[in-house]
Structure 1
Amino acid sequence: MKQAWWGISVAMLVLTACGQQQEASVPVADMARSAPMAKMATEGVLGGAEQSMTELSEPTADHQEVRKYIALRHHLNVELAAEQLQTGFDTAIKHCEVLNCQILSANFNKETPYNPPSASLSVRLPPRNVEVFLSGLAKSGEITQHARDAEDKTNQVMDADARIKNLTELRDRLRQMLSDKSAKFKDIIDVERELANTQSQLDSIVSIRKMLSLETDLVSVNINFSARQGITEQGFFSPVARAIKDAGRVMMESFAALITFIMSALPWLIIGIPLLMLINALWKKFKSK
Protein backbone atom coordinates (compact mmCIF):
# COMPACT_ATOMS: atom_id res chain seq x y z
CA MET A 1 0.00 0.00 0.00
CA LYS A 2 2.82 2.43 0.91
CA GLN A 3 4.54 1.77 -2.42
CA ALA A 4 1.32 2.49 -4.32
CA TRP A 5 0.72 5.60 -2.24
CA TRP A 6 4.25 6.86 -3.04
CA GLY A 7 3.79 6.25 -6.76
CA ILE A 8 0.47 8.12 -6.77
CA SER A 9 1.98 11.00 -4.76
CA VAL A 10 4.89 11.47 -7.17
CA ALA A 11 2.59 11.34 -10.21
CA MET A 12 0.14 13.86 -8.71
CA LEU A 13 3.03 16.16 -7.72
CA VAL A 14 4.50 16.20 -11.25
CA LEU A 15 1.08 16.74 -12.83
CA THR A 16 0.32 19.56 -10.40
CA ALA A 17 3.62 21.31 -11.18
CA CYS A 18 3.03 20.98 -14.93
CA GLY A 19 -0.46 22.39 -14.51
CA GLN A 20 0.91 25.35 -12.55
CA GLN A 21 3.50 26.00 -15.24
CA GLN A 22 0.88 26.00 -18.01
CA GLU A 23 -1.47 28.22 -15.99
CA ALA A 24 1.40 30.63 -15.27
CA SER A 25 2.45 30.76 -18.94
CA VAL A 26 -1.04 31.62 -20.26
CA PRO A 27 -1.50 34.88 -18.35
CA VAL A 28 2.11 35.79 -19.11
CA ALA A 29 1.50 35.58 -22.84
CA ASP A 30 -1.89 37.34 -22.58
CA MET A 31 -0.41 40.05 -20.37
CA ALA A 32 2.47 40.64 -22.79
CA ARG A 33 0.12 40.79 -25.80
CA SER A 34 -2.22 43.21 -24.08
CA ALA A 35 0.58 45.65 -23.28
CA PRO A 36 1.16 48.19 -26.11
CA MET A 37 4.54 48.42 -27.78
CA ALA A 38 7.07 50.74 -26.13
CA LYS A 39 7.24 54.11 -27.83
CA MET A 40 10.79 54.90 -28.98
CA ALA A 41 11.64 58.61 -29.20
CA THR A 42 14.27 59.11 -31.87
CA GLU A 43 15.83 62.14 -30.23
CA GLY A 44 15.97 60.68 -26.73
CA VAL A 45 17.62 57.32 -27.16
CA LEU A 46 20.81 58.15 -25.28
CA GLY A 47 21.53 58.56 -21.58
CA GLY A 48 18.46 58.65 -19.33
CA ALA A 49 16.26 57.49 -22.22
CA GLU A 50 18.29 54.26 -22.33
CA GLN A 51 17.25 53.51 -18.75
CA SER A 52 13.57 54.10 -19.51
CA MET A 53 13.66 51.78 -22.52
CA THR A 54 15.57 48.90 -20.98
CA GLU A 55 13.16 48.68 -18.05
CA LEU A 56 9.82 50.17 -19.12
CA SER A 57 6.44 49.89 -17.36
CA GLU A 58 3.16 50.58 -19.11
CA PRO A 59 -0.42 50.49 -17.79
CA THR A 60 -2.77 47.82 -19.15
CA ALA A 61 -6.53 47.99 -19.58
CA ASP A 62 -6.91 47.00 -15.88
CA HIS A 63 -4.64 49.92 -14.81
CA GLN A 64 -1.89 47.50 -13.82
CA GLU A 65 1.75 48.16 -14.60
CA VAL A 66 3.68 45.57 -16.62
CA ARG A 67 7.44 45.82 -16.63
CA LYS A 68 8.87 45.78 -20.15
CA TYR A 69 12.27 44.22 -20.81
CA ILE A 70 13.90 45.79 -23.88
CA ALA A 71 17.29 44.81 -25.34
CA LEU A 72 18.92 47.90 -26.87
CA ARG A 73 21.79 47.81 -29.38
CA HIS A 74 23.93 50.52 -30.99
CA HIS A 75 25.96 49.98 -34.17
CA LEU A 76 28.53 52.64 -35.06
CA ASN A 77 31.23 53.25 -37.64
CA VAL A 78 34.02 55.60 -36.50
CA GLU A 79 36.45 57.03 -39.04
CA LEU A 80 39.94 58.25 -38.07
CA ALA A 81 43.21 59.02 -39.79
CA ALA A 82 45.24 55.87 -40.39
CA GLU A 83 48.04 56.95 -38.07
CA GLN A 84 45.55 57.77 -35.28
CA LEU A 85 43.43 54.62 -35.48
CA GLN A 86 45.49 52.63 -32.95
CA THR A 87 45.36 55.51 -30.46
CA GLY A 88 41.62 55.98 -30.92
CA PHE A 89 40.98 52.26 -30.46
CA ASP A 90 43.04 52.09 -27.25
CA THR A 91 41.34 55.25 -25.92
CA ALA A 92 37.90 53.74 -26.49
CA ILE A 93 38.84 50.60 -24.55
CA LYS A 94 40.22 52.61 -21.60
CA HIS A 95 37.15 54.86 -21.56
CA CYS A 96 34.90 51.79 -21.62
CA GLU A 97 36.69 50.24 -18.64
CA VAL A 98 36.32 53.46 -16.64
CA LEU A 99 32.57 53.39 -17.30
CA ASN A 100 32.26 49.84 -15.87
CA CYS A 101 31.56 48.13 -19.18
CA GLN A 102 31.84 44.52 -20.28
CA ILE A 103 34.16 44.00 -23.28
CA LEU A 104 32.79 41.17 -25.43
CA SER A 105 35.37 41.39 -28.21
CA ALA A 106 38.19 43.70 -29.33
CA ASN A 107 40.10 43.23 -32.60
CA PHE A 108 42.76 45.38 -34.27
CA ASN A 109 44.18 44.76 -37.75
CA LYS A 110 47.48 46.48 -38.52
CA GLU A 111 48.15 48.25 -41.79
CA THR A 112 49.60 46.14 -44.60
CA PRO A 113 50.96 47.15 -48.04
CA TYR A 114 47.55 46.29 -49.51
CA ASN A 115 45.06 47.05 -46.69
CA PRO A 116 44.61 50.05 -44.37
CA PRO A 117 44.37 49.49 -40.58
CA SER A 118 40.99 48.61 -39.08
CA ALA A 119 39.52 47.63 -35.71
CA SER A 120 36.27 46.49 -34.09
CA LEU A 121 34.97 46.69 -30.53
CA SER A 122 31.88 45.10 -28.97
CA VAL A 123 30.89 46.07 -25.41
CA ARG A 124 27.95 46.18 -22.98
CA LEU A 125 27.36 49.31 -20.89
CA PRO A 126 24.99 50.39 -18.11
CA PRO A 127 22.28 52.57 -19.71
CA ARG A 128 23.32 55.67 -17.75
CA ASN A 129 26.87 55.51 -19.23
CA VAL A 130 25.98 55.11 -22.91
CA GLU A 131 25.78 58.82 -23.72
CA VAL A 132 29.14 59.50 -22.04
CA PHE A 133 30.81 56.68 -23.97
CA LEU A 134 29.38 57.80 -27.33
CA SER A 135 30.47 61.39 -26.64
CA GLY A 136 34.02 60.15 -26.10
CA LEU A 137 33.92 58.32 -29.43
CA ALA A 138 32.76 61.47 -31.21
CA LYS A 139 35.75 63.38 -29.79
CA SER A 140 38.32 60.80 -30.91
CA GLY A 141 36.99 60.41 -34.46
CA GLU A 142 34.14 61.09 -36.87
CA ILE A 143 31.01 58.92 -36.41
CA THR A 144 29.98 58.27 -40.02
CA GLN A 145 27.18 55.83 -39.17
CA HIS A 146 25.05 55.26 -36.06
CA ALA A 147 22.23 52.71 -36.13
CA ARG A 148 19.99 51.73 -33.21
CA ASP A 149 17.66 48.79 -32.77
CA ALA A 150 15.57 47.41 -29.90
CA GLU A 151 14.09 43.96 -29.20
CA ASP A 152 11.29 43.24 -26.76
CA LYS A 153 12.31 40.39 -24.43
CA THR A 154 9.33 40.71 -22.05
CA ASN A 155 7.64 37.44 -23.02
CA GLN A 156 10.87 35.45 -22.69
CA VAL A 157 11.76 36.97 -19.32
CA MET A 158 8.31 36.48 -17.78
CA ASP A 159 8.06 32.91 -19.09
CA ALA A 160 11.50 32.12 -17.63
CA ASP A 161 10.51 33.60 -14.27
CA ALA A 162 7.33 31.51 -14.18
CA ARG A 163 9.21 28.31 -15.03
CA ILE A 164 11.83 29.03 -12.37
CA LYS A 165 9.09 29.54 -9.76
CA ASN A 166 7.28 26.30 -10.64
CA LEU A 167 10.42 24.19 -10.88
CA THR A 168 11.69 25.55 -7.57
CA GLU A 169 8.43 24.60 -5.83
CA LEU A 170 8.54 21.12 -7.39
CA ARG A 171 12.15 20.63 -6.30
CA ASP A 172 11.33 21.66 -2.71
CA ARG A 173 8.40 19.25 -2.54
CA LEU A 174 10.50 16.39 -3.85
CA ARG A 175 13.12 17.13 -1.23
CA GLN A 176 10.42 16.96 1.46
CA MET A 177 9.34 13.55 0.18
CA LEU A 178 12.92 12.31 0.47
CA SER A 179 12.89 13.18 4.15
CA ASP A 180 10.17 10.56 4.81
CA LYS A 181 12.09 7.77 6.55
CA SER A 182 9.25 5.26 6.09
CA ALA A 183 9.60 5.31 2.29
CA LYS A 184 10.82 2.18 0.52
CA PHE A 185 14.13 2.05 -1.35
CA LYS A 186 12.46 1.87 -4.80
CA ASP A 187 10.29 4.90 -4.01
CA ILE A 188 13.35 6.86 -2.89
CA ILE A 189 15.16 6.01 -6.16
CA ASP A 190 12.16 7.23 -8.19
CA VAL A 191 11.95 10.48 -6.26
CA GLU A 192 15.71 11.08 -6.56
CA ARG A 193 15.54 10.50 -10.32
CA GLU A 194 12.72 13.02 -10.65
CA LEU A 195 14.58 15.44 -8.37
CA ALA A 196 17.73 15.23 -10.51
CA ASN A 197 15.69 15.88 -13.67
CA THR A 198 13.92 18.84 -12.06
CA GLN A 199 17.19 20.35 -10.84
CA SER A 200 18.71 19.99 -14.33
CA GLN A 201 15.77 21.86 -15.89
CA LEU A 202 15.97 24.53 -13.20
CA ASP A 203 19.70 25.10 -13.76
CA SER A 204 19.12 25.40 -17.50
CA ILE A 205 16.34 27.97 -17.23
CA VAL A 206 18.29 29.96 -14.61
CA SER A 207 21.21 30.23 -17.07
CA ILE A 208 18.83 31.47 -19.76
CA ARG A 209 17.40 34.03 -17.34
CA LYS A 210 20.90 35.34 -16.56
CA MET A 211 21.61 35.79 -20.26
CA LEU A 212 18.34 37.68 -20.68
CA SER A 213 19.30 39.92 -17.76
CA LEU A 214 22.59 40.83 -19.47
CA GLU A 215 20.74 41.72 -22.66
CA THR A 216 18.03 43.85 -21.00
CA ASP A 217 19.92 45.41 -18.06
CA LEU A 218 22.88 46.51 -20.22
CA VAL A 219 23.08 48.25 -23.60
CA SER A 220 25.08 46.60 -26.39
CA VAL A 221 27.42 48.86 -28.41
CA ASN A 222 29.23 47.53 -31.51
CA ILE A 223 31.86 49.77 -33.12
CA ASN A 224 33.83 49.45 -36.36
CA PHE A 225 36.93 51.66 -36.67
CA SER A 226 38.07 52.46 -40.22
CA ALA A 227 40.89 54.57 -41.67
CA ARG A 228 39.98 57.83 -43.39
CA GLN A 229 40.79 57.83 -47.11
CA GLY A 230 43.27 60.33 -48.48
CA ILE A 231 42.49 62.87 -51.18
CA THR A 232 44.13 60.76 -53.89
CA GLU A 233 42.06 57.73 -52.80
CA GLN A 234 38.70 59.45 -53.13
CA GLY A 235 39.18 62.07 -55.85
CA PHE A 236 38.88 62.11 -59.65
CA PHE A 237 42.40 60.70 -60.15
CA SER A 238 42.01 57.92 -57.60
CA PRO A 239 42.19 55.14 -60.26
CA VAL A 240 45.47 56.60 -61.57
CA ALA A 241 46.85 56.87 -58.03
CA ARG A 242 45.95 53.26 -57.31
CA ALA A 243 47.56 52.16 -60.61
CA ILE A 244 50.81 53.98 -59.79
CA LYS A 245 50.78 52.58 -56.27
CA ASP A 246 50.30 49.03 -57.58
CA ALA A 247 52.69 49.35 -60.57
CA GLY A 248 55.67 47.82 -58.78
CA ARG A 249 53.62 44.95 -57.40
CA VAL A 250 52.06 44.20 -60.81
CA MET A 251 55.50 44.20 -62.50
CA MET A 252 56.96 41.85 -59.89
CA GLU A 253 53.97 39.53 -60.21
CA SER A 254 54.47 39.38 -63.99
CA PHE A 255 58.19 38.69 -63.51
CA ALA A 256 57.34 35.95 -61.02
CA ALA A 257 54.95 34.39 -63.53
CA LEU A 258 57.71 34.41 -66.18
CA ILE A 259 60.14 32.67 -63.81
CA THR A 260 57.50 30.09 -62.99
CA PHE A 261 56.94 29.40 -66.71
CA ILE A 262 60.66 29.03 -67.43
CA MET A 263 61.23 26.69 -64.50
CA SER A 264 58.20 24.62 -65.51
CA ALA A 265 59.46 24.30 -69.13
CA LEU A 266 63.13 23.69 -68.25
CA PRO A 267 62.85 19.89 -67.62
CA TRP A 268 61.08 19.42 -70.95
CA LEU A 269 63.77 21.44 -72.73
CA ILE A 270 66.57 19.31 -71.21
CA ILE A 271 64.89 16.14 -72.43
CA GLY A 272 63.32 17.50 -75.61
CA ILE A 273 66.35 19.15 -77.29
CA PRO A 274 68.62 16.05 -77.31
CA LEU A 275 65.68 13.93 -78.39
CA LEU A 276 64.95 16.23 -81.33
CA MET A 277 68.64 16.21 -82.33
CA LEU A 278 68.68 12.40 -82.27
CA ILE A 279 65.54 12.18 -84.36
CA ASN A 280 66.98 14.67 -86.86
CA ALA A 281 70.22 12.66 -87.20
CA LEU A 282 68.33 9.41 -87.72
CA TRP A 283 66.15 11.06 -90.35
CA LYS A 284 69.13 12.36 -92.28
CA LYS A 285 70.82 8.92 -92.14
CA PHE A 286 67.63 7.30 -93.37
CA LYS A 287 67.33 9.73 -96.29
CA SER A 288 70.97 9.23 -97.33
CA LYS A 289 70.30 5.54 -97.88
Structure 2
Amino acid sequence: MNGTSFQSDIRFWLRQGNTVNQLLFWNIVVFLGINILYLINTFSPGSPAFAWTLNQLSLHSAPGTFIIKPWGLITYMFTHVEIFHVFFNLLNLYWFGNLFRGFLGNKRVLPLYLMGGITGGLLYLLCYNLFLPGLASTMIGASASVMCILVACATLMPNYEIGLLFLGNVRLKWLALGLIVLGVISIPHGNLGGIIAHMGGALFGFFYIRALQSGTDLCKPLIWLFDADTRREAKQLQTRAKPKKSPLKVVKKPEDNHQLRLDQLLDKINEKGYNSLSAEEKAWLDKVSKEN
Protein backbone atom coordinates (compact mmCIF):
# COMPACT_ATOMS: atom_id res chain seq x y z
CA MET A 1 0.00 0.00 0.00
CA ASN A 2 1.54 3.33 -1.03
CA GLY A 3 1.30 6.61 0.86
CA THR A 4 -1.33 8.06 -1.47
CA SER A 5 -3.61 5.05 -0.99
CA PHE A 6 -3.18 5.23 2.79
CA GLN A 7 -4.09 8.94 2.82
CA SER A 8 -7.14 8.23 0.64
CA ASP A 9 -8.28 5.50 3.04
CA ILE A 10 -7.94 7.87 6.02
CA ARG A 11 -9.88 10.62 4.24
CA PHE A 12 -12.64 8.15 3.29
CA TRP A 13 -12.75 6.86 6.88
CA LEU A 14 -13.15 10.38 8.27
CA ARG A 15 -15.70 11.50 5.66
CA GLN A 16 -18.17 8.75 6.58
CA GLY A 17 -19.75 11.12 9.08
CA ASN A 18 -19.02 8.81 12.02
CA THR A 19 -17.96 10.91 15.01
CA VAL A 20 -16.51 7.84 16.73
CA ASN A 21 -14.01 7.50 13.86
CA GLN A 22 -13.06 11.15 14.22
CA LEU A 23 -12.51 10.83 17.98
CA LEU A 24 -10.35 7.76 17.41
CA PHE A 25 -8.35 9.64 14.78
CA TRP A 26 -7.56 12.66 16.97
CA ASN A 27 -6.65 10.52 19.99
CA ILE A 28 -4.23 8.55 17.80
CA VAL A 29 -2.75 11.72 16.26
CA VAL A 30 -2.06 13.24 19.70
CA PHE A 31 -0.64 9.93 20.97
CA LEU A 32 1.75 9.63 18.01
CA GLY A 33 2.79 13.28 18.27
CA ILE A 34 3.61 13.01 21.97
CA ASN A 35 5.56 9.79 21.49
CA ILE A 36 7.58 11.27 18.64
CA LEU A 37 8.60 14.02 21.05
CA TYR A 38 9.36 11.34 23.66
CA LEU A 39 11.71 9.59 21.21
CA ILE A 40 13.42 12.89 20.46
CA ASN A 41 13.83 13.42 24.20
CA THR A 42 15.30 9.91 24.57
CA PHE A 43 18.04 10.57 22.01
CA SER A 44 18.45 14.21 23.00
CA PRO A 45 17.89 14.38 26.80
CA GLY A 46 18.21 18.15 26.91
CA SER A 47 15.15 18.67 24.67
CA PRO A 48 12.25 20.21 26.61
CA ALA A 49 9.60 19.60 23.91
CA PHE A 50 8.12 16.39 25.36
CA ALA A 51 7.82 17.60 28.96
CA TRP A 52 6.49 21.02 27.90
CA THR A 53 3.87 19.57 25.54
CA LEU A 54 2.66 17.00 28.05
CA ASN A 55 2.45 19.68 30.71
CA GLN A 56 0.32 21.86 28.42
CA LEU A 57 -2.10 19.05 27.54
CA SER A 58 -2.55 17.60 31.05
CA LEU A 59 -5.23 18.53 33.57
CA HIS A 60 -3.58 20.06 36.65
CA SER A 61 -5.12 19.65 40.11
CA ALA A 62 -3.29 22.66 41.60
CA PRO A 63 -5.71 25.64 41.39
CA GLY A 64 -2.98 28.11 40.51
CA THR A 65 -1.80 26.01 37.58
CA PHE A 66 -5.31 25.14 36.42
CA ILE A 67 -6.31 28.81 36.28
CA ILE A 68 -3.53 29.61 33.82
CA LYS A 69 -4.04 26.36 31.85
CA PRO A 70 -7.83 25.82 31.88
CA TRP A 71 -7.77 24.18 28.44
CA GLY A 72 -6.42 21.09 30.20
CA LEU A 73 -10.03 20.25 31.13
CA ILE A 74 -10.58 19.49 27.42
CA THR A 75 -7.16 18.44 26.12
CA TYR A 76 -6.50 15.84 28.83
CA MET A 77 -9.22 13.57 27.43
CA PHE A 78 -7.42 13.34 24.07
CA THR A 79 -3.97 12.71 25.54
CA HIS A 80 -2.19 9.39 26.15
CA VAL A 81 1.45 8.39 26.52
CA GLU A 82 1.43 4.65 27.26
CA ILE A 83 0.48 2.22 24.48
CA PHE A 84 -1.80 0.00 26.58
CA HIS A 85 -3.59 3.04 28.02
CA VAL A 86 -4.51 4.36 24.58
CA PHE A 87 -5.20 0.88 23.16
CA PHE A 88 -7.82 -0.15 25.73
CA ASN A 89 -9.44 3.28 25.86
CA LEU A 90 -9.82 3.47 22.09
CA LEU A 91 -10.92 -0.15 21.80
CA ASN A 92 -13.74 0.52 24.28
CA LEU A 93 -14.54 3.82 22.56
CA TYR A 94 -14.88 1.98 19.24
CA TRP A 95 -17.16 -0.72 20.68
CA PHE A 96 -19.40 1.32 22.93
CA GLY A 97 -19.24 4.56 20.94
CA ASN A 98 -20.66 2.82 17.88
CA LEU A 99 -23.23 1.00 20.00
CA PHE A 100 -24.37 4.33 21.49
CA ARG A 101 -24.35 5.93 18.04
CA GLY A 102 -26.52 3.17 16.60
CA PHE A 103 -29.26 3.73 19.20
CA LEU A 104 -29.15 7.48 19.87
CA GLY A 105 -27.60 8.90 16.71
CA ASN A 106 -24.31 10.43 15.64
CA LYS A 107 -25.05 13.96 16.90
CA ARG A 108 -24.86 12.97 20.56
CA VAL A 109 -21.48 11.17 20.46
CA LEU A 110 -19.09 14.14 20.66
CA PRO A 111 -21.19 16.12 23.18
CA LEU A 112 -21.43 13.09 25.48
CA TYR A 113 -17.70 12.35 25.12
CA LEU A 114 -16.87 15.93 26.11
CA MET A 115 -19.43 16.21 28.91
CA GLY A 116 -18.33 12.88 30.42
CA GLY A 117 -14.70 13.96 30.30
CA ILE A 118 -15.47 17.40 31.76
CA THR A 119 -17.52 15.89 34.60
CA GLY A 120 -14.74 13.43 35.39
CA GLY A 121 -12.15 16.21 35.29
CA LEU A 122 -14.18 18.50 37.57
CA LEU A 123 -14.71 15.70 40.09
CA TYR A 124 -10.97 15.02 40.01
CA LEU A 125 -10.23 18.70 40.73
CA LEU A 126 -12.83 18.84 43.50
CA CYS A 127 -11.64 15.70 45.29
CA TYR A 128 -7.95 16.58 45.13
CA ASN A 129 -8.51 20.08 46.46
CA LEU A 130 -10.94 19.00 49.20
CA PHE A 131 -9.22 15.87 50.47
CA LEU A 132 -5.61 16.31 49.32
CA PRO A 133 -5.03 20.08 49.44
CA GLY A 134 -1.58 21.17 48.44
CA LEU A 135 -0.83 17.96 46.54
CA ALA A 136 -0.09 18.88 42.91
CA SER A 137 -1.09 16.21 40.43
CA THR A 138 -1.79 15.86 36.71
CA MET A 139 -4.13 13.62 34.75
CA ILE A 140 -4.41 12.50 31.12
CA GLY A 141 -6.51 9.97 29.22
CA ALA A 142 -9.94 9.40 27.70
CA SER A 143 -11.04 6.97 30.42
CA ALA A 144 -13.71 9.24 31.95
CA SER A 145 -15.24 9.94 28.53
CA VAL A 146 -15.21 6.27 27.55
CA MET A 147 -16.68 5.21 30.91
CA CYS A 148 -19.42 7.78 30.42
CA ILE A 149 -20.38 6.30 27.05
CA LEU A 150 -20.18 2.74 28.39
CA VAL A 151 -22.46 3.48 31.36
CA ALA A 152 -24.83 5.43 29.11
CA CYS A 153 -25.16 2.32 26.93
CA ALA A 154 -25.67 0.10 29.98
CA THR A 155 -28.35 2.45 31.34
CA LEU A 156 -30.15 2.68 28.00
CA MET A 157 -30.08 -1.06 27.24
CA PRO A 158 -29.05 -2.90 30.44
CA ASN A 159 -29.81 -6.38 29.12
CA TYR A 160 -27.93 -6.00 25.84
CA GLU A 161 -25.31 -8.77 25.66
CA ILE A 162 -21.76 -8.53 24.34
CA GLY A 163 -19.23 -11.33 23.96
CA LEU A 164 -16.09 -11.10 26.10
CA LEU A 165 -12.99 -13.27 25.81
CA PHE A 166 -12.96 -16.02 28.48
CA LEU A 167 -16.26 -14.77 29.96
CA GLY A 168 -18.68 -15.37 27.10
CA ASN A 169 -21.82 -13.23 26.75
CA VAL A 170 -22.20 -10.58 29.45
CA ARG A 171 -25.05 -8.12 29.89
CA LEU A 172 -24.03 -4.48 29.74
CA LYS A 173 -25.43 -3.70 33.20
CA TRP A 174 -23.14 -6.29 34.81
CA LEU A 175 -20.13 -5.16 32.83
CA ALA A 176 -20.63 -1.53 33.85
CA LEU A 177 -21.28 -2.46 37.49
CA GLY A 178 -18.20 -4.70 37.56
CA LEU A 179 -15.93 -1.94 36.22
CA ILE A 180 -17.30 0.55 38.75
CA VAL A 181 -16.80 -1.87 41.67
CA LEU A 182 -13.25 -2.68 40.52
CA GLY A 183 -12.52 1.04 40.36
CA VAL A 184 -13.83 1.67 43.88
CA ILE A 185 -11.97 -1.20 45.56
CA SER A 186 -8.72 -0.31 43.78
CA ILE A 187 -8.68 3.30 45.07
CA PRO A 188 -6.17 2.55 47.87
CA HIS A 189 -3.77 0.87 45.43
CA GLY A 190 -4.50 2.38 42.04
CA ASN A 191 -4.33 5.64 40.11
CA LEU A 192 -6.50 7.79 42.42
CA GLY A 193 -7.00 10.66 40.00
CA GLY A 194 -7.93 8.38 37.10
CA ILE A 195 -10.35 6.35 39.24
CA ILE A 196 -12.09 9.50 40.49
CA ALA A 197 -12.46 10.70 36.90
CA HIS A 198 -13.88 7.29 35.91
CA MET A 199 -16.55 7.63 38.56
CA GLY A 200 -17.40 11.15 37.39
CA GLY A 201 -17.78 9.98 33.80
CA ALA A 202 -19.89 7.00 34.89
CA LEU A 203 -22.21 9.21 36.93
CA PHE A 204 -22.77 11.59 34.04
CA GLY A 205 -23.47 8.72 31.65
CA PHE A 206 -26.10 7.32 34.02
CA PHE A 207 -27.85 10.63 34.71
CA TYR A 208 -27.67 11.66 31.06
CA ILE A 209 -29.75 8.68 29.94
CA ARG A 210 -32.19 9.05 32.85
CA ALA A 211 -32.70 12.73 31.97
CA LEU A 212 -33.04 11.88 28.27
CA GLN A 213 -35.71 9.28 29.06
CA SER A 214 -37.62 11.93 30.97
CA GLY A 215 -37.46 14.32 28.01
CA THR A 216 -34.38 16.45 28.82
CA ASP A 217 -31.24 16.23 26.67
CA LEU A 218 -28.35 17.57 28.79
CA CYS A 219 -26.12 17.66 25.71
CA LYS A 220 -28.56 19.74 23.65
CA PRO A 221 -26.52 23.00 23.84
CA LEU A 222 -23.42 21.22 22.51
CA ILE A 223 -25.44 19.43 19.84
CA TRP A 224 -26.71 22.83 18.69
CA LEU A 225 -23.16 24.23 18.76
CA PHE A 226 -21.49 21.43 16.80
CA ASP A 227 -24.20 20.43 14.32
CA ALA A 228 -25.18 22.79 11.52
CA ASP A 229 -28.27 20.72 10.64
CA THR A 230 -29.61 21.11 14.18
CA ARG A 231 -29.18 24.88 14.00
CA ARG A 232 -30.89 24.91 10.62
CA GLU A 233 -33.80 22.86 11.97
CA ALA A 234 -34.16 25.22 14.93
CA LYS A 235 -34.24 28.19 12.59
CA GLN A 236 -36.87 26.50 10.42
CA LEU A 237 -39.03 25.83 13.48
CA GLN A 238 -38.83 29.50 14.43
CA THR A 239 -39.86 30.43 10.89
CA ARG A 240 -42.80 28.02 10.97
CA ALA A 241 -43.93 29.50 14.28
CA LYS A 242 -44.63 32.76 12.43
CA PRO A 243 -46.22 31.68 9.13
CA LYS A 244 -46.60 34.24 6.42
CA LYS A 245 -50.08 34.74 5.02
CA SER A 246 -50.44 33.89 1.37
CA PRO A 247 -53.40 34.28 -0.95
CA LEU A 248 -52.41 31.06 -2.68
CA LYS A 249 -53.08 27.65 -1.27
CA VAL A 250 -50.85 24.83 -2.45
CA VAL A 251 -52.60 21.50 -2.56
CA LYS A 252 -50.30 18.50 -2.31
CA LYS A 253 -51.19 15.11 -3.64
CA PRO A 254 -51.57 12.33 -1.03
CA GLU A 255 -48.63 10.44 -2.53
CA ASP A 256 -46.43 13.54 -2.20
CA ASN A 257 -47.25 13.82 1.49
CA HIS A 258 -46.65 10.10 1.91
CA GLN A 259 -43.17 10.25 0.34
CA LEU A 260 -42.28 13.42 2.23
CA ARG A 261 -43.07 11.83 5.58
CA LEU A 262 -41.12 8.70 4.66
CA ASP A 263 -38.07 10.79 3.71
CA GLN A 264 -38.31 12.75 6.97
CA LEU A 265 -38.46 9.60 9.09
CA LEU A 266 -35.52 8.01 7.26
CA ASP A 267 -33.48 11.18 7.79
CA LYS A 268 -34.41 11.15 11.47
CA ILE A 269 -33.26 7.51 11.83
CA ASN A 270 -29.97 8.29 10.09
CA GLU A 271 -29.24 11.28 12.34
CA LYS A 272 -30.65 10.22 15.71
CA GLY A 273 -31.15 6.44 15.57
CA TYR A 274 -34.24 4.25 15.29
CA ASN A 275 -35.09 4.71 19.00
CA SER A 276 -35.67 8.42 18.41
CA LEU A 277 -38.93 7.58 16.60
CA SER A 278 -42.19 7.75 18.50
CA ALA A 279 -44.40 4.67 18.78
CA GLU A 280 -46.76 6.16 16.17
CA GLU A 281 -43.88 6.81 13.76
CA LYS A 282 -42.54 3.27 14.19
CA ALA A 283 -46.00 1.82 13.52
CA TRP A 284 -46.45 3.99 10.41
CA LEU A 285 -43.01 3.01 9.08
CA ASP A 286 -43.72 -0.67 9.71
CA LYS A 287 -47.03 -0.37 7.83
CA VAL A 288 -45.33 1.30 4.86
CA SER A 289 -42.62 -1.37 4.70
CA LYS A 290 -45.27 -4.12 4.57
CA GLU A 291 -47.21 -2.31 1.85
CA ASN A 292 -44.08 -2.13 -0.30
TM-score interval (norm. to shorter):
under 0.3
Normalising by the residue count of structure 1, what TM-score does the alignment of the two structures yield? 0.23
Normalising by the residue count of structure 2, what TM-score does the alignment of the two structures yield? 0.23
Higher normalized contact order (CA 8 Å, seq sep 6+, divided by chain length): 1
Query: Higher helix fraction: Structure 1 or Structure 2?
Result: 2
Query: Higher strand fraction: Structure 1 or Structure 2?
Result: 1
> Which has the greater radius of gyration?
1
